[in-house]
């Protein structure tokens, strides 16, 4: 079992920045891929970014160049740095942990999920 707790969400103006954190506990953090997903009201949950066990990075086209993802295995924490935020980035953001040899972006590749943190970007 892996327990995930997100933090760092909030209200920010368009063009601003936020950094989300995902603290993990339980099994060895470094053994898992970490993904950030988001779900806006009335929309399906979608991948934002993912980082593999060895540092491979993947990003959704909508956030490429604005968001970055990182991990600190010593602290068992993953991060999502969000810059140049837009109103359309408003959503509940979830972190997730998944095992496997290949970094995947599908929801069903991630077995463990946090409770989510709200990000609201005002225009």
11-54 per-position pLDDT tens digit = 999 999 999 999 999 879 999 999 999 999 999 999 999 999 99
DSSP character at residue 5: E
**Which of 32, 33, 10, 34 minimizes the C-alpha distance to 20?**
10
State the chain's mean pLDDT as an integer. 96
Please count the CA atoms within 13 angstroms of the CA of 123 that sit on its side-chain side: 2
pLDDT value of position 26: 83
71 within 8 A of 34, measured Cβ to Cβ: yes
Q: How many CB atoms lie within 10 A of CB 114?
A: 23
């Amino acid at each position: 079992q892996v327990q995930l707790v997100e933090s760092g969400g909030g209200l920010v103006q368009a063009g601003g920045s936020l950094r989300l954190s995902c603290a993990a506990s339980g099994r060895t953090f470094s053994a898992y891929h970490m993904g950030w997903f988001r779900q806006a009201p009335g929309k399906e949950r979608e991948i934002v970014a993912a980082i593999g066990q060895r540092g491979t990075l993947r990003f959704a086209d909508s956030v490429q160049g604005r968001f970055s993802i990182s991990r600190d295995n010593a602290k068992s924490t993953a991060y999502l740095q969000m810059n140049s935020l837009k109103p359309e980035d408003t959503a509940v953001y979830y972190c997730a942990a998944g095992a496997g040899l290949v970094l995947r972006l599908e929801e069903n590749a991630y077995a463990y999920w946090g409770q989510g943190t709200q990000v609201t970007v005002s225009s």
